[in-house]
């Protein structure tokens, strides 16, 4: 695997290194040794997938508060998404900064999202599927988020038409409340 640091502290784009032959290819998508070599956790406790039938579906920006703060490894397995991360950790050198990258079934790219980073994406095509692994179990009472359009972050989302977004994601607060210890 190839790990490329993003402008967000602790976040990486992860590219596979396919070994090809006449049958196709083989590639590793997670390896404890390779993750440890760049100081990333590979202790995934849960794997999840999401399906989105329509382009313009926005999910985010989500995170879990401590003590259940999680790290994620996210991949788009069908279709295409614009994946966004935003640093919500006060005191971090990249606090209130964001980064976006296209993940799709063709580039097979992944993004590693560390603790203290909100995560979301918008679908760029119909019938999109994402697969992600997390280092903590989902605990509903520790689920949190920030608004996808919070001016404190200034995220620039691709213009893909009228957004399809849940009421819950529309209602996240505009500013991170400091009492939400990560």
| 57 within 8 A of 128, measured Cβ to Cβ | yes
Burial state string for 141-162 with b = 16 or more CB within 10 A and e = fewer than 16:
ebebbbbbbbeebebebeebee
Beta bridge mates, 14: 3, 110
Q: How many CB atoms lie within 10 A of CB 89?
A: 20
Active site residue 62: yes
Q: Catalytic pick from 62, 82, 112, 119?
A: 62
Q: Catalytic pick from 12, 82, 121, 132?
A: 132
CA distance 156 to 148: 10
Active site residue 132: yes
Which positions are catalytic? Answer: 62, 132
């Amino acid at each position: 695997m190839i790990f490329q640091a993003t402008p967000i502290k602790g976040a990486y784009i992860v590219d596979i290194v396919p070994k090809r032959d006449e049958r196709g290819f083989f590639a590793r998508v997670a390896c404890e040794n390779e993750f440890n070599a760049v100081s990333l956790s590979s202790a995934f406790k849960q794997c999840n997938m999401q399906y989105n039938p329509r382009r313009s579906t926005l999910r985010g920006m989500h995170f879990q508060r401590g003590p259940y703060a999680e790290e994620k490894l996210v991949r788009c397995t069908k279709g295409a998404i614009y994946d966004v991360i935003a640093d919500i950790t006060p005191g971090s050198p990249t606090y209130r900064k964001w980064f976006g990258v296209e993940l799709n079934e063709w580039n097979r790219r992944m993004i590693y999202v560390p603790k203290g980073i909100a995560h979301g994406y918008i679908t760029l095509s119909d019938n999109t599927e994402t697969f992600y692994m997390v280092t903590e179990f989902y605990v509903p009472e520790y689920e949190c988020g920030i608004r996808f359009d919070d001016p404190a972050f200034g995220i620039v989302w691709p213009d893909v038409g009228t957004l399809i977004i849940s009421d819950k994601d529309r209602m996240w607060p505009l500013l991170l409340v400091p009492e939400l210890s990560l």
